[in-house]
Amino acid sequence: MPTYTLFVNQKKQLVEVEADTPLLWVLRETLGLTGTKYGCGQGLCGSCTVLLDGEAVRACTLSVEDAADKQITTIEGITAEKEHPLLQAWLEEEVSQCGYCQPGQILSAAALLNAKPHPTDQEIDDAMSGVLCRCGTYPRIRKAIHRAAQRKGGGR
């Protein structure tokens, strides 16, 4: 089996898996990073969203081969940053219900704020429409993104 070098949350990791293994399962099952969630496996729900070189990607449809040698950020990486503005905003707006979709929401929001430090409602809707939340936390997600943007002018 081939070996790949992954940079996950700024840590270098060597993994030995088949080339077409989706990054989602490498993160969850090979590296034990279960914060990234499975929701559909087809790129339709956004639960598995991570950052690849700062951009939001669906880890369930991205092969490990295509993720190799790039910077990957998961929810565990966001959390490692003390008082990350997104996490603070998410807490203050009391966004989470079941919480299952929230890692994907937060990573999508991080990519948005990387690209647009002060997004409009329209830009939030455009960037976040790929991530489903069955609990219906969308109105609070909007508020929390605005709050995070105000706090720091960016998601990094």
Considering only 4, 6, 8, 22, the residue that binds other proteins (CB under 8 A) is: 22
- Coil vs helix vs strand at 16: strand
The pattern of x and - marking residues 40 through 69 that bind other proteins according to CB under 8 A reads xxx-xx-x----------------------
Give the H or E element holding residue 71: strand 71-73
User: What are the strands of the beta sheet with 3-8, ordered from one edge?
Assistant: 11-16, 3-8, 71-73, 49-52, 55-58
Both tokens assigned to 77: 């990486």
Q: Min. distance of Cβ 98 from other proteins in angstroms?
A: 3
Residues 21-60, interacting with ligand FES (CB under 6 A): 38-41, 43-48, 58, 60
Residues 54-83, interacting with ligand FES (CB under 6 A): 58, 60
Please tell me the count of residues contacting other proteins according to CB under 8 A: 56
Kindly report the number of other CB atoms within 10 A of residue 8's CB atom: 21
Distances (CA, A) of 40 to 7, 61, 133, 137, 140: 25, 10, 13, 19, 23
Q: Which does residue 120 bind out of other proteins, ligand FES, none, counting CB within 5 to 8 angstroms by kind?
A: none
Q: Min. distance of Cβ 34 from ligand FES in angstroms?
A: 13
Stretch that binds other proteins, among 19-27, 51-59, 112-120, 146-154 (CB under 8 A): 19-27
- Which amino acid is it at 140? R
Tell me the angle at which helices 85-92 and 102-115 cross, rounded to the nearest 10 degrees: 130
The pattern of x and - marking residues 77 through 106 that bind other proteins according to CB under 8 A reads --x-------x--xx--x-xxxxxxxx--x
Binding residues for ligand FES (CB under 6 A): 38-41, 43-48, 58, 60, 96-102, 133-135, 137
